Structure 1
Amino acid sequence: MEENQYTGNSFIERLQYYMQEKGINDNQMTVNAGLSVGLIGKAKGSNKGMNAANIEKILLAYPDLNPDWLLTGRGKMCKMQEESSPQPKDTLPIAHQTSENNQEGIPLIPLSAMAGAFTEETAVMEFECERYVIPAFKGADFLIQVKGDSMQPTYYSGDLVACQRVTLNDIFFQWNKAYVLDTKQGPLIKRIMPGSDENHIRIVSDNTNYPPFELSKDQFNGVALVRGIVRLE
């Protein structure tokens, strides 16, 4: 049977099929979605569903999973590409670098100056930064360059991400959105999910080779929401 056409007889059968197609085991889903240990195994054994709170956790952790298909068997297993997948290169926001000494556009902040980018103390050195005009990201405050592979396949090393500062005094995380965090151990680009209590958040990489971990909110000095990506040739 072709992928996305499987309907199954129950919620748990469809969930198992999704896991099989995506190469996800019980432990990976338990950790990524923040489920109770053994919950998936119990659901398989009883061939029953889960409560709404646990289903919501799964859908937040796996945004490509079509909730209508999971719950009813209707439609495709995965959402349409434009809803769930990174944009291909030719549809990414058009950007061009400004000429030297031109203060138009968004500054590309080096990682060494990240602390200043979060606290708006970059005015003195911004004239030295490369700047890019990106019409689609008018609300962005700065750009930074991605390093490493922990957020592949969404963000690749060398990509530029447009960031909008978030005030720490009145922070409201949008779960499963990508943020840049200025932590005591350096900047991180990760997805944010609820932690075990109100004082912690769960840090999630798109690359499943990097396990999620919790971080106390007092460990970061600044936060910025990722507004979009620019992939340079």
Structure 2
Amino acid sequence: MVLERLKEYIDLKGVTVAAFERSIGMSNASFGKSLKQGKGIGSDKLEKILSVYPDINPSWLLTGAGEILLTKTPKNVLKQNEDKFEDINEDKRKLQKTSSNDNTETVVVDNVFKLRTDRLIDRQQIPIYDMEAVAGLVPLFADQYSQSIVEVMETTLIPKCDGGLRIVGDSMYPLLKSGDIVFYKQVHDIMHSIIWGEMYLISFDIDGDEYVSVKYLQKSDTPDHIVLVSYNEHHKPMEIHINRIRALAFIKASLRLNSLK
């Protein structure tokens, strides 16, 4: 039954039924009521669900065949840490993008990745950096490149952040797309502060070159090694020695800019 599979998906994602109903335009408690009564769901609602939740596997949703998610890796990541996730779609956080000419644009935070220990900040201003100008996380975190700030965003009700960066690449697609902004909080004690299964902005060394990426970090069976895991199943997990990490930061929120007229 489609509704039962949807309930399984909701449980996997850690989203409340109430938030799910609001996200697809269902009236309050109508999903639970339809589930109890064994009713079906209309094609218009199915189209809305697939547009709002692009990681759900349409074949699985309609027939039960295949994996729940279009990618296999996130299923394990989310199951391992489901007790840490709260309702990231409960409210849409709003930001104001400010500039020197006072032009403002209202945008919406798409995801908030909040640990249980995080406190939501009523209002904060977050600098957005140009990675090409910085040329790596190490000098950025050393606070040597204030001139690389391209804009400042004023935020409400997201965890404390140190800055934001525009990402490049599709390793976290469809959760994150190339061009999305991720907001991060720097990790100072890398050796002792990694929370396995969480999403990080990571800088690591390969043959003397620095690579910057957004990945889930998983514990390796090899001592002193970690596994970098992508959301996109077409990107294979990568194992590195922990000493190759140059800089690390929690991903606290992500933003996909949408123009509102």
When normalised by structure 1's length, the TM-score is: 0.61
2-structure distance, mates of 1:6, 1:206: 22
What percentage of aligned pairs have identical amino acids? 20
Unmatched 5+ stretches in structure 2? 9-59, 103-123
2-structure distance, mates of 1:133, 1:5: 35
Residue 4 of structure 1 corresponds to: 5
Q: Which stretch of the first structure deviates more once superposed, 93-102 or 143-152?
A: 93-102
In structure 2, relative to structure 1, the CA distance for the partners of 1:211 and 1:167 (3 Å cut) is same
Residue 202 of structure 1 corresponds to: 227
| Residues paired across the two proteins, number | 174
State the AA in 2 paired with 1:220. I
Q: 1:120 aligns with which of 140, 143, 159?
A: 143
Kindly report the root-mean-square deviation, in angstroms, between the aligned alpha carbons of the 2 structures.
3.9
- Tell me if 1:61 matches 2:83: no
Higher strand share goes to which structure? 2
State the AA in 2 paired with 1:202. V
1-structure distance, mates of 2:7, 2:152: 48
Residue 51 of structure 1 corresponds to: none
State the AA in 1 paired with 2:151. E
Instruction: Give 1:76-225 correspondences, 5 Å limit.
Output: 87=89, 91-100=91-100, 105-112=125-132, 113=134, 114-122=137-145, 124-125=146-147, 128-137=149-158, 139-168=160-189, 171-184=192-205, 185-225=210-250
Maintained 8 Å contact 1:166/1:225:
yes
Maintained 8 Å contact 2:159/2:252:
no
Higher helix share goes to which structure? 1
The one-character-per-residue Cα deviations of 1:141-173 (angstroms, maximum 9, x if unpaired) are: 010112111101211111111100001355321
Maintained 8 Å contact 1:137/1:162:
no
When normalised by structure 2's length, the TM-score is: 0.55
The one-character-per-residue Cα deviations of 1:197-220 (angstroms, maximum 9, x if unpaired) are: 341111000011111110111112
The one-character-per-residue Cα deviations of 1:12-44 (angstroms, maximum 9, x if unpaired) are: xxxxx99953179xxx97xx5xxxxxxxxxxxx
Instruction: Give 1:15-34 correspondences, 5 Å limit.
Output: 20-22=65-67
2-structure distance, mates of 1:220, 1:149: 21
Maintained 8 Å contact 1:92/1:229:
no
Maintained 8 Å contact 1:205/1:211:
yes
Segments of 4+ moved more than 6 angstroms = none
1-structure distance, mates of 2:139, 2:93: 26
Unmatched 5+ stretches in structure 1? 8-16, 33-58, 68-81
